[in-house]
Amino acid sequence: MFAAALNRIETSASAVMTQRARAMRAAGRDVLALSMGQPDFDTPEHVKDAAKAAMDRGETGYPPLAGTEVLKRAVQEKFRRENNLDYALDQILVSNGGKQVIFNAFAATLNPGDEVIVPAPYWVSYPDIVKYAGGTPVFVPTEFQNGFRLTPEALRGALTPRTRWLVINSPNNPSGGCYRPADLTALAAVLADHPEVRVLTDDIYEHLVFDGAFATIAAVAPAIADRVLTMNGVSKAYAMTGWRIGYAGGDAALIKAMAKMQSQVTGGACSISQAAAAAALAGDQTLVAERRAVFKARRDHVVARLNEIPGLRCALPDGAFYVFPDCRDWLGRKTAAGARLENDGDVAERLLEEREVAVVHGAAYGLSPHLRLSYATGLATLDAALDRIQAFAEGLTD
C-alpha cells in the first residue's frame, strides 16, 4: 500500500522519456534524445573552483536552513542588479532546486479545495505539486496566435473565491513564450481586486530571452509585489542542473512558512552547492550572454527546419530552449510501420520506436496536439534528429 497522495501525482513525463531513451541506448539502440531540459554546456570553471574552495575551507556542516548568508546576499544583489527588486535577507529562501521552492510554496499555503491557476501549456511539475499539496490546479489554455500568453480576460474568467495562486512562467517551458511588461501589468490589474491571490513567477529561463528584454511581475507591478513570490535558480542560466540550487524572494511571512516546510524535508540545500551558486550569481556574467547567443542560433535553425517538415507548424519561441510544434496534421495518418497516430502521445511513441528520436508529447504539458523538443543539445545531434523526424513525416500514409 502506498499513500493516497502519491496516486495524485505522476513521474515527470520528460524524466520518463529521458529514462526510456537511456535504457534503449544501453540496449544498443542509437537513440537521439531531445527530451531533456538541461543545457549541454559544462558548469563554468570559476563556479567549480568556488565549490572546491568551500570544501577546503571546511564548509561541510549543516547549512543554515533558509540558505547561507553568502548566497542569500548574492541572491539579494542579483535581484537588485538584474530585476530591480529589493528583498531583505529574511525575504529570501534557498532550496534544493527551483522545484523545491515551488514545493515549499504550495505545501506551505494550500488547503483542500484551494485552486491554483496554471496557464497551459505548463511545466509538468506545477499541477502535480499542487495536487500533492491538496490543492486543485485550474488550467487555462493559451493560444499559439497569442504567443502562448495568458490574457487578462482569461485570467478573470478563471478566478473564483477559492483561487489562491496564479502561476506565471516566462520564458515558458514548453512553449518558449514570454510575457512583456504590458502583459504583466494587465494581469496585475486584474489581480488588484483579488488580494487573496498570490503570484508564483517562475523566472528560471530569465537569461534565455532572445528577442526583447526579460520582465518579471513584481518589478513591473509594484502594487501587487508583496503578493509575488519571485522564483529563480542556477540550473539553466549557469548549466548547474546537478547542483540543485534554486531560490526565491517574497513576503517574509511566506518565506518563513516555506522555510518551516523545508526544515522537515531537507534541512536546507547542500553547503558546497550554495558556495558554487554564490560564485555563479556574483561572478563574471559573460558566459551567460555567450551561451544565450548559441541557443538563439540553434532556435532559428531548428524552427526553420521544423517548418519545412510536412505537417508540422512551429512558432518562433521568444525564449527558453524548447520548441513546441503543432502536429495535428499527422493525426489520423499511418506511420511507415503501419501504426495509426491518434494523438500526440502516439506520435512521441512512434517517433521513439520507429526513428529513435525521444521527444515529449504536448499532452504532458496540458496542450495537444504538440511535441516538445529541447534544443539544449549540439547542432549535429539536432540535425540528425530533424532528419529522422522528416523521414518519419515523409513516411506517413493515409
Ligand X SMILES: Cc1ncc(COP(=O)(O)O)c(C=O)c1O
Q: Which residues bind ligand X (CB under 6 A)?
A: 37, 97-99, 123, 169, 173, 202, 204, 233, 235, 241, 246
Closest to ligand X by CB, 123 vs 392, is 123
By CB atoms closer than 10 A (0-12, 13-18, 19+), residue 88 is: exposed
| Of 207 and 350, CB closest to ligand X | 207
Query: With respect to ligand X, which residue has the nearer C-beta, 96 or 335?
Result: 96
Q: Cβ closer to ligand X: 37 or 268?
A: 37
User: Looking at beta carbons only, is 376 or 386 nearer to ligand X?
Assistant: 376
Q: In whole angstroms, what is the distance from residue 222 CA to residue 199 CA?
A: 13
We find the least distance from the C-beta atom of residue 383 to ligand X, in angstroms, to be 24
- Cβ closer to ligand X: 170 or 368? 170
The full DSSP string for 47-116 is HHHHHHHHHHTT--SPPPTT--HHHHHHHHHHHHHHH-----GGGEEEESHHHHHHHHHHHHH--TT-EE
C-alpha span between 354 and 339 (Å, rounded): 10
Tell me the closest approach of the beta carbon of residue 280 to ligand X, in angstroms: 13
CB of residue 104 to ligand X, shortest distance in Å:
12
Q: CA 127, CA 135: separation in Å to the nearest integer?
A: 9
Residue 51 Cβ vs ligand X, minimum distance, rounded to whole Å: 17
CA distance 254 to 199: 12
Q: Amino acid letter at 263?
A: S
Q: What are the beta bridge partners of residue 340? A: 334
Which CB sits closer to ligand X, 37 or 137? 37
Burial 94-105 (b: 16+ CB within 10 A, else e): bbbbbbbbbbbb
DSSP secondary structure of 362-379: GGGGT--SBEEEE--S-H
> What residue number has its CB nearest to ligand X?
97
Supply the minimum distance, in Å, between the C-beta of residue 346 and ligand X: 25
Q: Residue 232 and residue 151: Cα distance in Å, rounded?
A: 23
* Grid coordinates of 65: 536552513
Q: Smallest distance, Å, CB 337 to ligand X? A: 32
Q: How far is the CB of 274 from ligand X (least distance, A)?
A: 13
CB of 174 to ligand X, least distance (A): 8
In the complex, minimum distance from the CB of residue 369 to ligand X, in angstroms, rounded to a whole number: 21
Tell me the closest approach of the beta carbon of residue 172 to ligand X, in angstroms: 7
Beta-carbon contacts of 144 under 8 Å, excluding residues fewer than 6 positions away, are: 315, 326
Q: Which is nearer to ligand X, 68 or 273 (CB)?
A: 273
What would the grid cell of residue 20 be? Answer: 526510456
The number of angstroms, rounded, from the C-alpha of 378 to the middle of its chain's C-alpha atoms is 20
What strands, in cross-sheet order, belong to the sheet with 92-95? 92-95, 246-249, 228-233, 198-202, 163-169, 115-120, 136-141
Query: Residue 336 or residue 363: which is nearer to ligand X going by CB?
Result: 363
SS3 292: helix
Which CB sits closer to ligand X, 149 or 305?
Answer: 149
CB proximity list for 10: less than 8 A, separation 6 or greater: 128
Amino acid at 272: I
Angle between helices 344-355 and 13-26 (to 10 degrees): 20
* Residue closer to ligand X, measured from CB, 176 or 369: 176
Following DSSP, what letter does each residue of 236-250 receive, concatenated? TTTT-GGG--EEEE-
Question: Are the C-beta atoms of 126 and 118 separated by less than 8 Å?
Answer: yes
Shortest distance (Å) from residue 252 CB to ligand X: 22
